Amino acid sequence: MNRRVVITGLGVVSAIGIGWKDFWDNLLVGKSGISPISSFNTANFFTHNGGEVKQFKADVFMPRDQVDSMSRASQMALATANLAIIDANLSVDEISTRRAGVCVGTTMGSVQTVEKIDEMLVAEKKHAVSAALVLQAPTHSSSSVIAKHYNIQGPSLMFSTACAAGNYAIGYGFDMIRLNRSDIFLAGGAEPLSKVAFTGFNQFSAVAPDKCKPFDKSRKGMMVSEGAGLVVLESLDTALRRKASIYAEVLGYGLSCDAFHMTTSSTAGIIACMKKALQETNVLPAQVDYISAHGTGTITNDRNEAAAIREIFGSRYKQVPVSSIKSMLGHTMGAASAIETIACALAVRTGMIPPTINYETADPECDVDCVPNKARQHDVSIALNNSYAFGGNNACLVLKKFSD
């Protein structure tokens, strides 16, 4: 249980960039990926914007016949796996011949395929759909297509713990390597822009009309978005043997369940989750240099998360930078914390912290240092990645700057 686990490859598909370099450059300049939704008609909704990945072309990453056999979630998952494996300088043979596994988190899985089937059966009044389309629908398909494509014969799992699922998946991969059951793990999350999710959050009145403004007093909600992020996790021994470039070390994670409310986060649950993460990794609050906030831009979430940070860090809480990249990306649901893990790994490696954009008016209830509107140079040795989900599923991942 003492094996060290490091991140050696990053893959991301997002509304502000595909590939970690474009993604990171655009994060640091505060680029917004929010635009009018074009994949379905929003005329009857209260809001009309979201974080679509309009530049994503699946056939850049896979043969055309494979594209047609996959849901959008699976397409993005396989594309990010491809990007992460290339970034880690791993060959297909190395992946398939080592003890490797894959674990992907999601909220709605291949729900776009289910929507398509529903449209065919109800609106178009068809009496049957193709078997190929039905085979795209199961939630596990995103991890399965990666395992099949790279001949990964170890564990292949999906976590559906809503908006914390990406952190859950990375935590599972970390455990498998630490326990010496795997040497390499592809872990992260993937989420398509779903009409079902967009409808639900609109009905909750949880979607902002134009901008996501985390921690701002005039915040009006989140932005429904899509994307995928996967990291290559390796045992330190494996990474060093093949002279891999290391972005960050994963120290561990903490989980908690609020057992409180289906949609509203609990401050006590968030506190418990962050405390567990620090206890599991033997990190003191005074050692934390950066927090990637869940930061959805909703009234309740931001207030409760800020209250939890005040409780954990005491008089020092204003000295710890806390930014939300959802202000730029929107909320990518099950992919969110995976993409935010990539941002944390890059913050640890580069000493730059991405901003919280759209910040205009201070809120006394959210008086954390949210790195307003402009990226900041700041040495980051320890970073926390917070994620909280419907059903009270909380996860906090701890990353550290790598050092021998």
Question: What's the mean per-residue pLDDT of the chain?
Answer: 93
pLDDT band at 167; cut points 50, 70, 90? very high
Q: Is the pLDDT of residue 115 over 80?
A: no
Share of the chain above pLDDT 70, in %: 100
Share of the chain above pLDDT 90, in %: 78
Confidence at residue 332, expressed as pLDDT on a 0 to 100 scale: 96
Confidence at residue 119, expressed as pLDDT on a 0 to 100 scale: 77
pLDDT band at 141; cut points 50, 70, 90? confident
pLDDT in tens, 215-230: 999 999 999 999 999 9
Is 253-400 a CATH 3.30.450.20 domain?
no
Q: Please give the Cα distance from 274 to 25 (Å, whole number).
A: 29
Look at 198 and 32; give whichever has higher pLDDT: 32
Confidence at residue 96, expressed as pLDDT on a 0 to 100 scale: 87
Same fold, 5-241 and 253-400: yes
Q: Tell me, which fold does domain 5-241 have in CATH? A: Peroxisomal Thiolase; Chain A, domain 1 (3.40.47)
Catalytic residues: 163, 294, 331
pLDDT in tens, 267-315: 999 999 999 999 999 999 999 999 999 999 999 999 999 999 999 999 9
Q: Is the pLDDT of residue 169 over 80?
A: yes
Look at 335 and 195; give whichever has higher pLDDT: 335
Task: Report yes or no: 206 and 264 within 8 Å, Cβ to Cβ.
Answer: no
Q: Is the pLDDT of residue 261 over 80?
A: no
Q: Where are the domains of the chain?
A: 5-241, 253-400
Q: Is the pLDDT of residue 260 over 90?
A: no
Range with the poorest average pLDDT among 47-51, 158-162, 276-280, 367-371: 158-162
Confidence at residue 118, expressed as pLDDT on a 0 to 100 scale: 76
pLDDT band at 327; cut points 50, 70, 90? very high
Confidence at residue 289, expressed as pLDDT on a 0 to 100 scale: 98
pLDDT in tens, 345-392: 999 999 999 999 999 999 999 999 999 999 999 999 999 999 998 888
Q: For 111-124, what is the mean pLDDT?
A: 75
Whether the predicted model's global pTM rises above the 0.85 cut: yes
Provide the residue type at 74 as one letter: S
Q: Is the pLDDT of residue 256 over 90?
A: yes
Q: Is the pLDDT of residue 64 over 90?
A: no
Confidence at residue 262, expressed as pLDDT on a 0 to 100 scale: 76
